[in-house]
Amino acid sequence: MTTTDDAPTQGLPTEWMRLHPLSPVVRGARLLFALAIVVLPRQFTPGHRSQPWVDIIALFVALAAGIVSWLVTRWRIHNGELQVETGLIRRDSVRVPLTRLQAVDIVRPFAGRVLGLAEVRVVVAGHGSSTARLTYVTDEQATLIRARLLALAHGLAVDTPAPAEAPVLAVSGGRIAASQALGAPAVIVALALAVVVVLAALAPAAATASAVSFGFAVCFVVVSGAVRRASAEWEFRLSAAPDGLRLSAGLLQTRAETIPFGRVQAVRWVQPVLWRMFGWVRLEVDLARRHGRDRASRETAATTRALLPVGSPAEAARLLALVLPGASVTLPPQVLASARAPRRARWRAPFARHFLRAWHDDHYMVCGSGRLRPEFVVVPLQKAQSIRWSQGPVQRWLNLADVFVDSAGVHFPGRARMRDAAEAQQWAGLLPDIARSARGGTPLPASDTGGAVGLA
């Protein structure tokens, strides 16, 4: 791709560039904060014969390391690749072919928001591929870089301006907080309280004390998880751009990400038990990104999956149709009867059978399961990587079998469990052909119609 080289730069480099000079400050903000908590009280404790030199040297070394790491890091967009080089002793060079790009996120940690800096995170697909990150550039640059990368990824001219966005949906912070409070945490905290109360009434004091402390620990973990999720999805906003859906959310640290159309591997529709009172549902997407080992990509995996953190079924249906046109998780009652798992499946899946159902058309496979927490997974057959059939001994006895549609996503496998054996046999034979003809259409249209149009 030579366009990269002759295009007008407009603040975007084809030459090697450094990151923003204040990057080390943002990167080290958490560390500095922790250091301050340790060091300052120590220095100002009266009567403490402190050696300030140790602390000053520690601070200086941390600062110097940050500056050196900034000095040796450089990046550019060249030959249709984003190239990032870093490291003083062990050179680390990341090259991201933009055709493999899955999503571009802009993350603003709290310190970055104060200084007007943002991180650009480029997510690519496939095993063993890494996330390229630019930590940190200015806000304007981040927006520009994202527009450029997406334009290149879609094969457009490099100076295509960032396309206009049409707001689709916004969820207020209060509603997010309420939905998190009514999720699994509420149930677990209530259960823990009940156990403690029962123990207090029945058991000796010593056992009660340990139960109380254990219950408290469980509640703390659960509640802090809920608070973290709520703060990650705070003030959730979704808008549609021609190249994909733009998501932005966050309380202290905000993140804005783009889900390119046609890269959605699966969508999950889920309704936790207490949400049923309000008719709320949640919609999550699965992209072809892998589980990361480092903290940053774990964050990505844990927090960016919601397409609709909480909303009405009508909103969920609208969004589902936006990312996967023509897909639906509901069926007319007369069709539903045949989509449900046979009654005898209750011997093998006593709880899940209630919502255990599966059906497919020419484009999608929809699998439902769960008892307290019904969930439906929609997998576009166009994205099927492989199709599996399996039958265990109990299933053989009950004349049942499973059919799986594997997509490149990690979180929501398409599992049609406990189908009648004859039906499973038929599906396993048919689905590969359906998937092939679904694939045979236009490969990955970047239009607002998403991935499943123009199919054979």
Partner 1 sequence: MHSDEPRFDDAEWLRPSPRMWKARQTLLAIVAVPITLAVAGVTAAGAGARPAGAVLAVLVVVSGWWWYVLRGRYRAWGYAERGDDLLVRRGLLVRRLSVVPYGRMQLIEVTAGPIDRIFGLATVQLHTASASTDARIPGLAAAEAQRLRDRLAALGESRAAGL
Stretch that binds partner 1, among 25-33, 215-223, 332-340, 406-414 (CB under 8 A): 406-414
Which lies closer to partner 1 via its Cβ, residue 100 or residue 371?
A: 100
Backbone dihedral angles phi then psi of residue 418, each to the nearest 5 degrees? 60, 45
In angstroms, give the least distance from the CB of 270 to partner 1.
20
Among 4, 69, 254, 407, the residue binding partner 1 under the rule CB under 8 A is 407
Please give, one letter per residue, the 3-state secondary structure of 243-288. Answer: CEEEEEECCCCEEEEEEECCCEEEEEEECCHHHHHCCCEEEEEEEC
Cβ-based nearer residue to partner 1, 192 or 259: 259
Mark the segment that binds partner 1 (CB under 8 A) among 52-60, 164-172, 338-346, 384-392. 384-392
Considering only 21-29, 54-62, 360-368, 420-428, which stretch makes contact with partner 1 by CB under 8 A? 420-428
Which parts of 283-346 fold into alpha helices (H)? 295-303, 313-323, 333-339
Contact residue for partner 1 among 396, 447, 454, 456 (CB under 8 A): 396
Q: What number of chain residues touch partner 1 (CB under 8 A)?
A: 42
Q: Name which of 112, 180, 105, 174 is nearest 143 in CA terms.
A: 105
Q: Kindly state whether residue 189 participates in binding partner 1, applying the rule CB under 8 A.
A: no
Question: Distance of CA 325 to CAs 146, 243, 318, 363, 364, Å?
Answer: 26, 15, 9, 9, 10
Q: Is 18 an interacting residue with respect to partner 1 (CB under 8 A)?
A: no
Q: Do the Cβ atoms of 107 and 253 come closer than 8 Å?
A: yes
Q: Rule CB under 8 A: is residue 454 a binding residue for partner 1?
A: no
390 binds partner 1 (CB under 8 A): yes
DSSP label of 154: T
Q: Does residue number 288 form part of the binding site for partner 1 (CB under 8 A)?
A: yes
Taking CA atoms, 436 is separated from 245, 264, 327, 371, 433, in Å, by 27, 18, 18, 33, 5
Q: Give the residue with the Cβ less far from partner 1, 268 or 290.
A: 290
DSSP 158: T
Nearest distance, CB of residue 283 and partner 1, angstroms: 21
Alpha-carbon span 287 to 7, nearest angstrom: 31
Q: Which of residues 115-144 bind partner 1 (CB under 8 A)?
A: 125-127
Residue with tokens 């707001």: 167
Q: Does 392 bind partner 1 (CB under 8 A)?
A: yes
Q: What Rg do the C-alpha atoms of the chain give, in angstroms?
A: 26
| Residue 436 is a binding residue for partner 1 (CB under 8 A) | yes
399 binds partner 1 (CB under 8 A): yes
Query: Closest CB to partner 1 among 172 and 390?
Result: 390
Residues 231-270 that bind partner 1 (CB under 8 A): 263, 265
Which CB, 14 or 425, lies closer to partner 1?
Answer: 425
Residue type, 50: S
Exposure b/e, 312-348, CB count within 10 A at least 16 = b: ebebbbebbebbbbebebebeeeeeeebbbbeebbeb
Query: Does 431 participate in binding partner 1 (rule CB under 8 A)?
Result: yes
User: Rule CB under 8 A: is residue 410 a binding residue for partner 1?
Assistant: yes
The vertex-282 CA angle with 278 and 286, nearest 5°, equals: 175
406 binds partner 1 (CB under 8 A): yes
Q: Please identify, using beta-carbon distances, which residue of 315 and 402 lies nearer to partner 1.
A: 402
**Pairwise CA distance, residues 357 & 337, whole Å:** 9
Q: Which of 146, 154, 246, 383 binds partner 1 (CB under 8 A)?
A: 383
Token pair 């072809």: residue: 288
Whether the bond between 136 and the residue before it is cis, its omega within 30 degrees of 0, is yes
* Short-list 164, 157, 149, 168, CA closest to 13: 149
The verdict on 295 binding partner 1 (CB under 8 A) reads no
* Residues in contact with partner 1 by the rule CB under 8 A: 125-127, 263, 265, 288, 290, 383-393, 396, 399, 401, 404, 406-410, 413, 421-422, 424-426, 428-429, 431-432, 435-436, 439, 443-444
